Amino acid sequence: MRTIPVALQLYTVRDMMEKDVPATLRAVKAIGYDYVEPAGLFGMSADAFRKALDDAGLTAVCAHVPLAEMSADTEKFISVYKTIGCKYVAVPYLPEEQRYGTAAFEATLAEIARIADMCLAAGMPLLYHNHDFEFTKMPDGRYMLDYMYDTIPALATELDLCWVRVGGEDPAEYVRKYAHRAPVVHLKDYVGEKSAHMYELIGIKESGAKKPQKFEFRPVGAGVQDFPAILAAIAGTNAEYVVVEQDQSYAQASIDAAKQSRDYLKSQGW
């Protein structure tokens, strides 16, 4: 089976990044990662952040950048993340007021399309990182997520496979659906079931459903996801990188959770 380079989404260790970026990057390298996906620069300039990456022996393959930051000065944002060395950049999240069903949704898609075209022209394609709210059905039966990709030809996928499953789809099947449009794939595990309060960023309230189990994130391989099937599916796509992400750690330090994920992937030959 083809294997693919493994990166760490630095949001996973944001508690450490907030205290000492260079030391955190060295720690990430020491636990087995050669690639990372930044989520913010923690007050550092692009040049300083790139130096910290280089000094640690790490390569930034992609970065999560808020859509508002991309829109405010698109040329500057592109310059910053090209300086850091990113091959891709990703819209990490859509605020509730910009999602399907709001007056701003179509304008938001138009803005993402504008940015995607500029990123593609600059040689740093734009990706979209989903949560579960994009699996809302539209009147024609398509998910909001699929509608976004149908509407914006220059936009590629960064499927987050935790949220794909929480959204009601099979992660391996969804990876195969976007086999030729998924250069970066997020690996994330969890336990429990979908809950109205499972993740503070989502803000979706459920009613009339059975009381769910407590939802918690877990290191890759330590939750409900069928990773042997998922990894086999990814191996059959054009994916260039997989990215480990754990939004929250509980009984262990975030760096230890990141190491557990990396060790599991090594046990699978990755």
Mean pLDDT of 145-150: 98
Does 264 have pLDDT greater than 60?
yes
What's the one-letter identity of residue 259? Answer: K
Range of the domain at 46: 6-267
Contact 94, 66 (CB under 8 A): no
What's the one-letter identity of residue 224? Answer: V
Mapped onto helix, strand or coil, the DSSP state of residue 186 is: strand
Which pLDDT does position 159 carry in this prediction?
Answer: 98
Query: Is the residue at 60 inside a domain?
Result: yes
- Residue 216 CA to residue 193 CA, distance in Å, equals 9
Query: Is the residue at 27 inside a domain?
Result: yes
- Residue 123 CA to residue 104 CA, distance in Å, equals 28
Which pLDDT does position 197 carry in this prediction?
Answer: 58
Strand intervals (E) in 182-240: 184-187, 189-191, 216-218
pLDDT digit string, tens, across residues 100-138: 999 999 999 999 999 999 999 999 999 999 999 999 999
Strand intervals (E) in the chain: 6-9, 35-37, 59-60, 89-91, 126-129, 156-158, 184-187, 189-191, 216-218, 241-244
Proportion of the chain in helix, strand, coil states, percent, rounded to 5 = 40, 15, 45
Mean pLDDT of 136-141: 95
Mean pLDDT of 192-213: 56
Mapped onto helix, strand or coil, the DSSP state of residue 152 is: coil
> Would strands 89-91 and 184-187 be described as parallel, antiparallel, or unpaired?
unpaired
Question: What does the radius of gyration of the chain's CA atoms come to, in whole angstroms?
Answer: 18
Does 40 have pLDDT greater than 60?
yes
Query: Is the residue at 1 inside a domain?
Result: no
Tell me, rounded to whole angstroms, the distance of Cα 199 from its chain centroid. 15
Mapped onto helix, strand or coil, the DSSP state of residue 144 is: helix
Least confident of 12-26, 166-180, 183-197: 183-197
H helix or E strand, kind and range, residue 9: strand 6-9
Does 53 have pLDDT greater than 70?
yes
pLDDT digit string, tens, across residues 220-243: 999 999 999 999 999 999 999 999
Contact 54, 82 (CB under 8 A): no
Chain mean pLDDT for the chain: 94
Which pLDDT does position 202 carry in this prediction?
Answer: 43
For residue 143, what pLDDT band results from cuts at 50, 70 and 90?
very high
Cross-strand partners of 158: 129
CATH of the domain at 27: 3.20.20.150
Contacts of 139 (CB under 8 A, 6+ apart): none
Query: Is the residue at 218 inside a domain?
Result: yes
Query: Is the residue at 93 inside a domain?
Result: yes
Does 212 have pLDDT greater than 70?
no
Contact 190, 215 (CB under 8 A): yes
Least confident of 4-8, 19-23, 66-70, 199-203: 199-203
pLDDT digit string, tens, across residues 157-187: 999 999 999 999 999 999 999 999 999 999 9
Q: How many domains does the chain have?
A: 1
Residue 250, CB-side half-sphere exposure with 13 Å CA sphere: 8
Contacts of 49 (CB under 8 A, 6+ apart): 21, 38, 41, 84
Does 195 have pLDDT greater than 80?
no
In Å, what is the CA distance from 77 to each residue of 1, 64, 93, 130, 146? Answer: 37, 11, 17, 21, 26
